[in-house]
């Protein structure tokens, strides 16, 4: 979520939302562009100087301040899939779960990572017998 009025006042320019893949906001964007009078650029390449590290850090802090003031991240819903994702996509736990699923044994003797040969077919028939 964006506070467009605050963002516009912080940046000193009009801010318009647009969704490029859905054509949403295109008319509003074009209306704002039509209202802007083009100003000729009156500078040369000699006037452009690289910024110092201190100046770059100050600009980054200012950008971070503006983002913190104007942008609110959406709330993540607390659903079962969100909880499952937090475990399965964890860098350590997720890898252990993946390795267990691929190469571990399941009770009943079915090896999930078995090659697709006669042994896999035997394991399938044995599991079917056990489960019936």
Q: How far apart are CA 112 and CA 99, in angstroms?
A: 10
Residues 33 and 90 in one domain: no
pTM of this structure: 0.44
Helix (H) or strand (E) holding 110: strand 110-111
| 70: helix, strand or coil | helix
Query: For residue 130, what are the contacts with CB-CB under 8 A and spacing of at least 6?
Result: 108, 109
Task: Tell me if 119 is assigned to some domain.
Answer: yes
pLDDT tens string, the chain, 132 residues long: the values are 778 888 888 888 878 887 777 776 777 777 777 777 666 666 666 677 788 999 999 999 999 999 898 888 888 778 888 888 988 999 998 888 888 888 876 555 455 444 445 566 676 666 666 655
Name the residue range of residue 91's domain.
80-131
Task: Tell me if 44 is assigned to some domain.
Answer: no
Closest CA to 89 of 102, 81, 103: 81
């Amino acid at each position: 979520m964006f506070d467009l009025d605050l963002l516009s006042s912080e940046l000193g320019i009009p801010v318009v939302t647009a969704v490029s893949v859905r054509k949403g906001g295109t008319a509003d964007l074009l209306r704002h562009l039509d209202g802007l009078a083009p100003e000729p650029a009156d500078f040369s390449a000699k006037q452009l100087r690289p910024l110092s590290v201190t100046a770059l850090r100050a600009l980054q802090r200012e950008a971070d301040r503006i983002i913190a003031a104007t942008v609110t991240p959406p709330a993540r819903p607390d659903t079962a899939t969100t909880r499952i994702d937090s475990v399965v996509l964890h860098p350590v736990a997720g890898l252990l779960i993946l390795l267990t699923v691929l190469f571990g044994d399941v009770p009943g003797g079915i090896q999930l990572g078995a090659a697709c040969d006669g042994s896999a077919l035997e394991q399938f028939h044995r599991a079917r017998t056990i489960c019936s």
